[in-house]
């Protein structure tokens, strides 16, 4: 077996072990499952005199390693979280994230001695609390409920929640100075947008450039959901992957492909810095860069290992994201679709290699392949997917790169001379009017995908894999 194949299957079995343990299956049961798989491979290998199957027998034992790692990680997390539940207490904590603001403030606090660990806290909108603020609280910490929500929070090391405790600022700037500066820079850019544009346009521009959705109205959120464009303002790999490839197509109009590739990488890195470098954004950037590399390299076998190694490194850092982080799942599903399904759709529809006007072919293939692979995940987690979103994304994605470019330009000019920012906002208005019109129109043309259960999901993915395999096989024969 070639070394890169051995690495691939080693990681695949390890990830299977992590996934199995995440369903709270007993460790002894997992050992028995791994041993049974190893025996079956070994028996078949000896009978058929197949060295590859014998190697599989050895590699399958890494299922045990993956399960052990998951359980050990959870044990360390629990050990490092010390807090009192369901009792009114006084505690202090440092704001460890960029607070989310809507009807109220939602922040994550890193508890200080004698307690430890992270908790989620809801507070009134005023006064404002910022990243790095040390706050004295008086209230009740509760265990998150229900269990699936608790598991979702635990993946980020959050083991408690407190709703509207009494809060008093003790000190500021008690966390990373770099992150504080980045978050402060982000807020100033949002203010520039608000001074230069109408409220809804400023909110949408903040969303697509910085992932900020605090100023979105409930109605606008509903429109984006129905039109299938919510991913444009979600800092996930699903978002950055699609935007990154569209940006590459945009740069390719007037630059060499290799230069367009490297400029797109720089745009993604700049995007991460602009949004404060949160762990979820870094993960999304990694996925976006891998997707761009896939288009640049054009070698499926090389990308297979790149993808699984990226997943392995992320899961080593936090094994709970494999099952409990929908962003992680959407990232990989969308990326696999772009790498494997997109060429199959292109061959099936007999599309030319040229991107087309405003890169419509490129956008269609990227959007269709990514969305087709995430449909079951979206339905299971959000009970929502519309076929009309395929067309809405084809129409809107071509306008996103110039909108983002002008958005960053307006933000930059706002620091130098505000009137210049206002002048350039006239140009971006044209793009924003068009994009908001598309969102509005397609929010009224909803073609919902029918609900599917576990068997429907299995059938659906089997059909996609079969389509991809047989289309590629037919092409090779041709």
pTM above 0.75, yes or no: yes
Going by DSSP bridges, is the β-strand pair 134-140/118-123 parallel, antiparallel, or unpaired?
A: unpaired
Report d(CA 216, CA 219) in Å as an integer. 8
Bridge partners of 107, per DSSP, are 121
CA distances from 455 to 61, 189, 190 (A): 28, 47, 45
CB atoms inside a 10 Å sphere around CB 40: 14
Sole residue written with tokens 């908001």: 436
User: Would strands 158-163 and 105-111 be described as parallel, antiparallel, or unpaired?
Assistant: unpaired
Q: How many other β-carbons are positioned within 10 Å of the β-carbon of residue 406?
A: 20
Q: Which helix (H) or strand (E) holds 163?
A: strand 158-163
Asked if 439 contacts 223 with a C-beta cutoff of 8 angstroms, the reply is yes
Write down the domain spans for the chain. Answer: 3-79, 88-175, 185-477
The closest alpha carbon to 325, from 381, 268, 243, 286, belongs to 381
| CA distance linking residue 320 with residue 156, whole number of Å | 8
Query: Two tokens at 8?
Result: 């691939």
DSSP-derived letter for residue 113 is T
Fold of 88-175: OB fold (Dihydrolipoamide Acetyltransferase, E2P) (2.40.50)
Distance in angstroms (rounded) separating the CA atoms of residues 360 and 374: 21
| pLDDT tens digits in sequence order for the chain, 478 residues long | 677 788 889 999 999 999 999 999 999 999 999 999 999 999 999 988 888 888 999 999 999 999 999 999 999 998 888 999 999 999 999 998 888 887 889 999 999 999 999 999 999 988 889 889 999 999 999 998 887 778 888 888 899 999 999 999 999 888 888 788 888 888 899 999 999 999 999 999 998 888 888 788 889 988 888 888 877 776 665 566 666 766 777 777 777 877 888 888 887 777 777 676 666 677 677 766 776 776 666 655 566 777 888 889 889 989 998 988 887 888 788 878 888 888 888 888 887 776 555 556 777 787 788 888 888 887 777 776 777 777 887 788 778 878 888 888 898 899 888 888 988 899 999 999 999 999 999 888 877 777 777 888 889 899 999 998 888 766 555 5
Residue 317: how many CB atoms within 10 A of its CB? Answer: 12
């Amino acid at each position: 077996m070639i070394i890169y194949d051995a690495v691939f299957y080693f990681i695949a079995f390890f990830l299977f072990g992590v996934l199995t343990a995440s369903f709270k299956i007993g460790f002894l049961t997992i050992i028995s499952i791994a041993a049974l798989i190893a025996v079956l491979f070994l028996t078949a290998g000896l009978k058929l005199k197949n060295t590859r199957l014998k190697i599989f027998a050895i590699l399958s034992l890494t299922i045990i390693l993956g399960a052990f790692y998951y359980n050990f990680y959870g044990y360390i997390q629990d050990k490092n979280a010390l807090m009192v539940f369901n009792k009114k207490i006084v505690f202090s904590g440092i704001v460890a994230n960029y607070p989310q603001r809507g009807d109220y403030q939602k922040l994550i606090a890193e508890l200080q001695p004698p307690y430890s660990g992270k908790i989620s806290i809801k507070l009134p909108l005023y006064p404002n609390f910022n990243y790095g603020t040390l706050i004295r609280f008086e209230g009740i910490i509760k265990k998150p409920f229900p269990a699936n929500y608790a598991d979702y929070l635990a993946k980020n090391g959050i083991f408690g929640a407190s709703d509207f405790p009494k809060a008093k600022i003790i000190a500021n700037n008690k966390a990373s100075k770099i992150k504080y500066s980045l978050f402060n820079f982000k807020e100033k850019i949002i203010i520039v947008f608000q001074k230069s544009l109408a409220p809804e346009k400023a909110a949408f521009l903040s969303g697509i450039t910085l992932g900020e959705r605090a100023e979105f109205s409930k109605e606008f959120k509903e429109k984006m959901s129905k039109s299938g464009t919510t991913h444009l303002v979600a800092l996930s790999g699903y978002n950055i992957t699609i935007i990154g490839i569209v940006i590459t197509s945009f740069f390719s109009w007037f630059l060499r492909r290799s230069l367009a590739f490297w400029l797109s990488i720089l745009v993604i890195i700049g995007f991460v810095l602009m949004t404060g470098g949160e762990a979820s954004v870094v993960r999304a950037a990694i996925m976006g860069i891998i997707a761009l590399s896939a288009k640049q390299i054009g070698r499926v076998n090389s990308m297979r290992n790149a993808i699984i190694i990226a997943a392995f490194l992320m899961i080593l850092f936090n094994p709970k994201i494999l099952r409990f982080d929908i962003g992680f799942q959407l990232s990989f599903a969308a990326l696999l679709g772009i790498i494997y399904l997109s060429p199959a759709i292109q061959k099936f529809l007999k599309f030319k290699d040229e991107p087309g006007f405003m890169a419509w072919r490129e956008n269609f293939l990227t959007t269709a392949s990514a969305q087709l692979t995430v449909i079951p995940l979206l339905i299971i987690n959000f009970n929502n997917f519309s076929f009309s979103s395929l067309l809405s994304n084809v129409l809107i994605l071509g306008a996103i790169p110039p909108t983002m470019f002008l958005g960053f330009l307006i933000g930059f000019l706002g620091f130098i001379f505000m009137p210049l920012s206002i002048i350039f906002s006239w140009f971006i208005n044209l793009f924003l009017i068009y994009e908001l019109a598309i969102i509005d129109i397609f929010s009224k043309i909803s073609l919902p995908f029918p609900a599917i259960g576990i068997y429907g999901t299995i059938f659906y993915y089997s059909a996609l894999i079969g389509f991809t395999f047989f289309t590629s096989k037919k092409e090779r024969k041709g």
